[in-house]
Amino acid sequence: NAGVTQTPKFRVLKTGQSMTLLCAQDMNHEYMYWYRQDPGMGLRLIHYSVGEGTTAKGEVPDGYNVSRLKKQNFLLGLESAAPSQTSVYFCASSYDRGARPFYSNQPQHFGDGTRLSIL
């Protein structure tokens, strides 16, 4: 049971470099999310997707781009990394019950995180 898999687990970048974080889920979930977690700041939503081919901005989207070309994958891109983007990044996914009234809201499932340092 893989669940939500994030790659890479660790990465060190220099300011101005670019990179892509990959999130893959094998639960056929419609929703996928990218969060960043910083000391004392809790979880902050960067971008999310409600389905293949759709993305939307979260609370802190600046400096990041995302793509959801396949339902199982959600990519987070940093075009020009900055030290302020040093953080732990978490991907999550969830099942959407749609408008069915007797189905409860389902929890998010999280990956193990990517620890990103930008020098």
Partner 1 sequence: GNSVTQMEGPVTLSEEAFLTINCTYTATGYPSLFWYVQYPGEGLQLLLKATKADDKGSNKGFEATYRKETTSFHLEKGSVQVSDSAVYFCALSDRDNYGQNFVFGPGTRLSVLP
Residues of this chain that interact with partner 1 (CB under 8 A) are: 4, 31, 33, 42-43, 50, 90, 92, 94, 96-97, 104-113
Q: Give 14 or 101: the residue with its C-beta nearer to partner 1.
A: 101
- Report d(CA 81, CA 85) in Å as an integer: 7
- Report d(CA 67, CA 77) in Å as an integer: 8
CB of 101 to partner 1, least distance (A): 10
- Report d(CA 95, CA 29) in Å as an integer: 5
Tell me the two tokens of residue 92.
């999550």
Q: Give 15 or 54: the residue with its C-beta nearer to partner 1.
A: 54
CB of 108 to partner 1, least distance (A): 6
Q: What's 90's DSSP letter?
A: E
CB of 107 to partner 1, least distance (A): 5
Residue at token pair 């199982």: 72
**CA neighbor of 18 nearest in space, from 79, 87, 89:** 79
Q: Give 28 or 104: the residue with its C-beta nearer to partner 1.
A: 104
CB of 113 to partner 1, least distance (A): 5
